[in-house]
Structure 1
């Protein structure tokens, strides 16, 4: 293992037009770089240069193996697989030591692959081993496309949860709850790609990002959209506890608050997409107004009023949606603050 990871070398001029830099011999030997091998040089956005081999055989590094035992729960196995998926491995091997994989464990793995992990498939399955193969990225599903789909799904969840609330439609509400799984699928897919992009300049550029630091900001955005979808799902889950329909005057107030939360969410995403500092600022101001309105409606709800507890929870969900949208807007503000800084 190379302990010395930094050296200073002089740039030399050869033939009047070619600049040359030598590589430390011990580095070349340890990395097993051969004479005549192609090396790719990449200019990074932070004014640095990266060198990497044209073809890297990282198959061993891209395989992760976990061993199960009888005490493992299905949820524990799912957490381990998701962590490996997010870490960027291409192949996940699930094995046992001298015993068969239980039906419960096998079912948990298959359910996870089918419902939560985009671009994955089970390529091998036996009584004592399951192998999951993961496509690094789906060419037809760019980062921008996936983010837009997440936003649209979360928006639809909010709209449909309020419609279900108004009609007290439990069947419709159950459909909204199921949509949350789809949002989570895209969230996992995007977080995985952000991890890969931090380590690979090519992937970073293909995703339309400029700096590795952008990955941290977009990870925040993905997480906030997931939380917004969670609260839309919570509204839908509360519907089965409603006694009769909620009074029309209360429904009107809830719908207006929902519209304002949706507007804040939409403008926050627009601020991110357009790299618009001022729109991000405007969103932050509107979030404060949503919070004030939620408090006002909440203060007028009587404790003994029918469905008062459910109404309070729904109002809180709508407030939290606006607050998460505000967090997204703050990313736009932080990312574009340089546009208003004067160097004079």
Structure 2
């Protein structure tokens, strides 16, 4: 029986690289590409099938920043499939990122230069706006839209006989200091991306706590510093030309600079081969690339991982956040139902 893999944000960047790499690992997969832009999704589907004709590749239109879109896509998926084996929750945004130039250049000449480039701590702020659902855009896209997708797809995900894996694309930029339970949508701060990725880490822990006994397992991955359309938007092309030699040099001291989407997908592909019951729910799995271009996965067993990237998660906070999301779910469902009745 074919394994069924659902990937959000599959038409570009890490999502696209992941699709290509998974089909190399298993050419008999059924890949379902969940994308906003269907013309791009169909073009990717055609390309993938040309390279892997024995695979099955389908598409579904889904915009995780729009709950109606998530509901419609979920309904379609439940009509198509009896189960999903892997769900890669990869779609995300970092709208209009602004770089703190002063912090960048002061960091270049400090002992924190490697940490600064690895995590972008203190370097980036983003704009945010309210979606049609009345939620903060970054929070809804990166966290809540995916949470609602998981809630809608529970019948396809919870099978104790053969576990399903949820795999979230998180970030080294996930900072506890940028997240607050009192403002979990980050409506008052300037680093919604960092807050949303920390929220993803919290949700991952809570999902394992609440769903492992039902056969659903969750993991978080950091793809490293990858050059995608999202990343290139942070700086002007001239600034990237100036910084790239420094980044290539730093790659020999820290392996966080995966740079290419192919490399960034390393941990995502590695998790495809793992037994979910054997994974540590408090671990973030990191894609890493050496200075000479070799890829590997950094886990809690790596000394560098313990030094720099140990998951800073409190399980009680994770559970409280999960309960907050359930309350928000009740609220938005009532609101959407009222809107539907009025129309």
Answer yes or no: same fold by TM over 0.5. Answer: no
| Bin of the TM-score, shorter chain as denominator length | under 0.3
Where relative contact order (Cα < 8 A, 6+ residues apart) is larger, the structure is 2
TM-score normalised by length of structure 1: 0.26
Larger radius of gyration, structure 1 or 2? Answer: 1
